[in-house]
Amino acid sequence: MSDFHTLSLSDLAGLLQAGEVSSQQLTEYFLARIKQYDDQLNSFITVAEQQAMQAAEAADVRLKNGHTDALCGVPFAHKDIFCSEGLRTSCGSKMLDNFISPYDATVVHQLKQAGAVMLGKTNMDEFAMGSSNETSYYGVVRNPWNLDCVPGGSSGGSAASVAARIIPAATGTDTGGSIRQPAALCGITGIKPTYGTVSRYGMIAFASSLDQAGPMAQSAEDCALLLNVMTGFDEKDSTSLERDKEDYTHALNLPLRGLRIGLPKEFFAEGMNVAVDAVIQQALQQYKAMGAELVDIELPNSHLSVPVYYVVAPAECSANLSRFDGVRYGYRCEHPENLTDLYERSRGEGFGAEVKRRIMVGTYALSAGYYDAYYLKAQQLRHLISDDFKQAFETVDVIMGPTTPGTAFRIGEKSDDPISMYLSDIYTIAVNLAGLPGMSIPAGFANNMPVGLQIIGNYFDESRLLNVAHQYQQGTDWHMRIPKGFE
């Protein structure tokens, strides 16, 4: 068999459990695909061939002994934001280019325990700050649907590699849309769970109150399998929520009859790409055909999301990134003359422009005399934004709209215009501010580039989101499309 890459994670897991293929075969197969295609994409920062083959061998022993964890032996990749013991964990930054993590993030540990085989670490915007993967120290990632276009960000490497089928699935993180936006621009499925559902321990912090990890894969079903392993209370993360373990596959096949879908008028306002709008409208009609009801709703404060986000996230990151000081690990400038010089040059040389911009914005927003006007005000508005959703979920079950205002833009198109870049997350950011679960699924193409449909749920409604997505994917094949040149 030579087309494992056309199969979903769930299919591959089935073959492994049935003994029809070994983990070592699959691992070799996908490592070969990475070798063959990643020169075009630049989606990996580190390929951990040796570690992967060892893990595959161990997985095969477990499988032979009747091990039934669904993900045992399945190859996948981690975004390079998750600390992985013995491997470079760069977070896409020169600052951590020399950092070999001495410990595993909880998510890394969980997937290891489940027997999943990590093939490497995927490229990303530096410290997850970016919407195009252009801020990575390791270079831009290319969108497999058009190599001149960005894959989105910050989980651009994960999105591009899954879209090109050089890996069946990957992890991502989402602070303002970093799973959903690249998933949309690359035509894959990604879900950001409710804040507190997946442990943040070992996931290098960008904005602690917004960061949340989640899976990126071909389908909702694949995401459900990954979520089953990635979620759960972690005593090492104080913001992790103590809830019973949930089987996210249990609701996949429920019918959608009577589902109330809220359509916020703010998500369909002017400025939206006409071709994208058409794709979304078509998807909504399909939901209607499945028995769902479309309800117009309002999220009156959603226009505040981007400004609020660009105060809260930089403020938190300005403190979170203070530990990168050239003292204990990471980049240190040559021949520092004194302590101030050590700090200034290590940070000045180790961080890229976008990271420095956000540190400065955040430092400013927290400064004496400005705190009330910026940070405090932003926190107040954040409550208003959450309240909008709370109210909406009193009348609807899920909220839908486009994941992004347009399709993947060309490399370099927005890199000199931060505001325009920030606006590409305009529909995703509010979800993080409210801590809600949200996902993006492929809904078609506009100008030959994938379009993502965003589905937002109430707190802890991941199972319903996956159900809503899965039912759509049962009747469509957008999620199964493979970009030309990667078939």
Partner 1 sequence: MNYETVIGLEIHVQLATKSKIFSAASTAYGAAPNTQACAVDLALPGVLPVLNKEAVHMATKFGLAIGAEVAPRSVFARKNYFYPDLPKGYQISQFELPIVGTGHLDIELKGGETKRIGVTRAHLEEDAGKSLHEDFAGMTGIDLNRAGTPLLEVVSEPDMRSAEEAVAYMKKMHALVTYLEICDGNMQEGSFRCDANVSVRPVGQAEFGARAEIKNINSFRFVERAINYEVERQIDLIEEGGVVVQETRLYDADRDETRSMRSKEEANDYRYFPDPDLLPVVISAEYLEQVRAELPELPEEKKQRYIDTFGLSPYDAAGLTASRELADYFETVIEKTGDVRLSANWISGEMSARLNKDDLSIAESKVSAEAFAGLLLRIKDNTISGKIAKEVFEAMWNGEGSADAVIEVKGLKQITDTGAIESMVDEVIANNAGQFAELKSGKDKLMGFFVGQVLKASKGKANPAQVNELIRKKLQD
- Binding residues (CB under 8 A) for partner 1: these are 82-83, 89, 91, 96, 99, 101-103, 105, 200-205, 207-209, 235-239, 315-316, 318-319, 321-325, 327-329, 339, 343, 363, 366-368, 371, 375
- Report the residue number, 21 or 366, with the smaller CB distance to partner 1: 366
**Least separation in angstroms between CB 182 and partner 1:** 21
Smallest gap, in angstroms, from Cβ of residue 82 to partner 1?
8
Active site residue 22: no
> HSE-up of 105 (CA within 13 Å, CB side)?
27
Tell me which residue of 159, 395, 222 sits closest to 294, measured CA to CA. Answer: 395
Q: Which of 154, 155, 161, 440 is catalytic?
A: 154
Q: For this structure, is 79 an active site residue? A: yes
Phi, psi of 378 (to 5 degrees): -60, -40
Q: How far is the CB of 80 from partner 1 (least distance, A)?
A: 11
Tell me how far CA of residue 295 lies from CA of 48, 106, 347, 392, 445, in angstroms.
48, 39, 50, 10, 25
Of the pair 253, 371, the CB lying nearest partner 1 is at 371
**d(C-alpha 221, C-alpha 219), whole Å:** 5
Measured from the CB atom, the residue of 71 and 378 that comes closer to partner 1 is 378
**Which of 406, 433, 431 lies closest to 420, judged by CA?**
406
The residue (of 85 and 293) whose beta carbon lies closer to partner 1 is 85
Q: What angle do CA 304, 446, 415 make, to 5 degrees?
A: 55
Compare residues 128 and 186 and give the one whose CB is closer to partner 1. 128
Residue 233, C-beta contacts closer than 8 angstroms, at least 6 positions apart: 240, 241, 242, 243
Selecting among 178, 318, 424, 440, the annotated active-site residue is 178
Question: Which is nearer to partner 1, 39 or 242 (by Cβ)?
Answer: 242
CB 261 within 8 A of CB 292: yes
Q: How far is the CB of 188 from partner 1 (least distance, A)?
A: 25
> Of 263 and 342, which has the nearer Cβ to partner 1?
342
For residue 383, the Cα-to-chain-centroid distance in whole angstroms is 24
CB of 443 to partner 1, least distance (A): 33
Report, in Å, the least distance between residue 393 CB and partner 1. Answer: 24
* Apex 206 CA angle, 203 and 211, nearest 5: 65
- Is residue 144 a contact partner of residue 159, using CB atoms and an 8 Å limit? no
317: number of CA atoms within 13 Å, CB side? 26
Instruction: Say which residue the tokens 């096949």 belong to.
Output: 253
CB of 99 to partner 1, least distance (A): 7
Give me the DSSP letters along 9-66. HHHHHHHHHTTSS-HHHHHHHHHHHHHHHHHHH--EEEE-HHHHHHHHHHHHHHHHTT
Terminal CA-CA length for the chain? 14
Which of the residues are catalytic? 79, 154, 178
